[in-house]
């Protein structure tokens, strides 16, 4: 998206008021996968607290790797964001609950039930029991997610990408025609560890899916749209594949800034390289940016990936991208907002856009 073409209906009065003048919250919409996105978003909230910057954050989470295990509906990416921002995540692995036990999993195995390759902890099971019960009562995934967040108070509005069921399935390489082996993404990712090359990713149900209530409003009303460092193929990819959602991001007046999930030719976490290989894309920061070429205004890469000849669009900024702790994540999130502030207006001047005005403490 070329922000020079975007309409910015907000105008600023002449004269710059003091930074002490109350300002409206900066409206941030993020499209998020799991661990990388969750840690980035935690950094975003930390950065805002440290700077005294009021934020109104909506997170649109990937639901295409959701699955049902032992009768329980599990939403890995939504739960990882919720637990991380709510202070209950197991920090070392980046997902699941802290101080977890596995009595239920052991009992299920004793009954010959469950899936050995996808173990749910006892505390985590409670979340899935509540989710499954609420869904059985007729509540939508959006309503259920809101109910779960009442307990965790993540500091953001967490929305599923769609209330309609969508699942990522993987066609395994080496299989052809009617004999092709197709597995759920989680089986390929967790059980097979992506060791069997993927030939193709299928988004079952995507044609019938519609953005969940509030998603398009969050995109249209955003001052900044962020693409955190999530897997571009199986995390952010399914979100953008929901009919109407990619078009909405492309048409938004807000600057779109992404953070590379690849550093020095390797994914920061997980096996994104296996996913990129399946779609014929190099594991390279700028190659990943190419997947968002119609959307991006700004792109953050690690210092080792700074392009020799940067493109006009997206505007590329290089900085350390390893989120070694919340402070490092806050610095990256702050850099994303700083870049957005320079991109928001028709002239590229931070004070020429509502985004820049909010970041500089000016009324919109």
pLDDT digits (tens, 9 = 90+) for 70-100: 999 999 999 999 999 999 999 999 999 999 9
pLDDT in tens, 8-62: 332 223 343 444 455 789 999 999 999 999 999 999 999 999 999 999 999 999 9
Cβ(47)–Cβ(333) below 8 Å: yes
- Rounded to two decimals, the pTM is 0.88
Higher model confidence: residue 310 or residue 231?
231
Same fold, 23-64+162-166+205-364 and 66-160: no
Distance CA 298, CA 339 (A): 7
Averaged confidence pLDDT in the chain: 89
Report DSSP state, residue 4.
Answer: G
Q: What are phi and psi of 54, to 5 degrees?
A: -70, 130
Contacts 24+ apart (CB under 8 A), 12-17: 12/351, 12/352, 12/357, 12/362, 12/363, 12/364, 13/363, 16/351, 16/360, 16/362, 17/361, 17/362, 17/363
Q: What separation, in Å, do the N-terminal and C-terminal C-alpha atoms of the chain show?
A: 22
CATH architecture of 23-64+162-166+205-364: 3-Layer(aba) Sandwich (3.40)
pLDDT-based confidence at residue 347 (cuts at 50, 70, 90): very low
Domain at 66-160: CATH code: 1.10.8.240
For 75-130, give the secondary structure using H, E and C.
CHHHHHHHHHHHCCECCCCCCCECCCCCHHHHHHHHCCCCCCCCCCCHHHHHHHHH
Q: Give the tens place of pLDDT for each residue, 129-185.
A: 999 999 999 999 999 999 999 999 999 999 999 999 999 999 998 755 566 799 999
Q: What is the token pair recorded at 113?
A: 């039930």
Which residues face 204 on adjacent strands? 167
Question: What is residue 22's predicted lDDT score, i.e. its pLDDT?
Answer: 59
| pLDDT at residue 344 is higher than 50 | yes
Domain ranges of the chain: 23-64+162-166+205-364, 66-160, 167-204
**pLDDT (tens digit per residue) in 271-292:** 899 999 999 999 999 999 999 9
């Amino acid at each position: 998206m070329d922000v020079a073409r975007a309409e910015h209906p907000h105008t600023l009065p002449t004269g710059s008021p003091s930074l002490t003048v109350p300002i409206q919250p900066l409206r941030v919409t993020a499209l998020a996968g799991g661990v990388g996105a969750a840690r980035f978003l935690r950094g975003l909230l930390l950065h805002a607290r440290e700077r005294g910057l009021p934020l109104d954050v909506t997170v649109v989470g990937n639901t295409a790797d959701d699955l049902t295990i032992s009768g329980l509906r599990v939403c890995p990416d939504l739960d990882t964001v919720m637990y991380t921002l709510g202070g209950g995540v197991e920090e070392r692995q980046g997902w699941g609950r802290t101080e977890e036990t596995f009595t239920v999993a052991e009992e299920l195995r004793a009954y010959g039930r469950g899936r050995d390759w996808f173990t749910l902890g006892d505390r985590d099971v409670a979340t899935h029991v509540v989710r499954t019960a609420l869904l059985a009562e007729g509540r939508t995934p959006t309503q259920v997610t809101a109910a779960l967040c009442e307990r965790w108070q993540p500091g953001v509005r967490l929305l599923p990408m769609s209330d309609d069921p969508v699942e990522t399935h993987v066609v395994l390489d080496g299989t052809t025609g009617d004999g092709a082996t197709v597995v759920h993404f989680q089986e390929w990712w967790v059980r097979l560890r992506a060791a069997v090359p993927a030939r193709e990713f299928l988004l079952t149900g995507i044609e019938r899916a519609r953005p969940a209530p509030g998603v398009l409003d969050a995109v249209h009303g955003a001052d900044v749209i962020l693409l955190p460092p999530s897997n571009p193929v199986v995390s952010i990819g399914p979100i953008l594949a929901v009919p109407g959602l990619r078009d909405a991001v492309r048409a938004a007046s807000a600057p779109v800034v992404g953070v590379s999930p690849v550093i020095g030719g390797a994914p920061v976490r997980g096996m994104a390289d296996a996913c990129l290989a399946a779609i014929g894309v190099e594991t390279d920061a700028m190659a990943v940016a190419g997947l968002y070429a119609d959307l991006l205004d700004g792109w953050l890469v690690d210092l080792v990936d700074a392009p020799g000849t940067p493109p006009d669009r997206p505007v590329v900024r290089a900085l350390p991208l390893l989120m070694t702790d919340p402070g490092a994540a806050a610095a990256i999130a702050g850099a994303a907002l700083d870049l957005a502030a320079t991109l928001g207006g028709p002239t590229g001047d931070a004070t020429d856009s509502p985004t820049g005005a909010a970041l500089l403490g000016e009324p919109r």
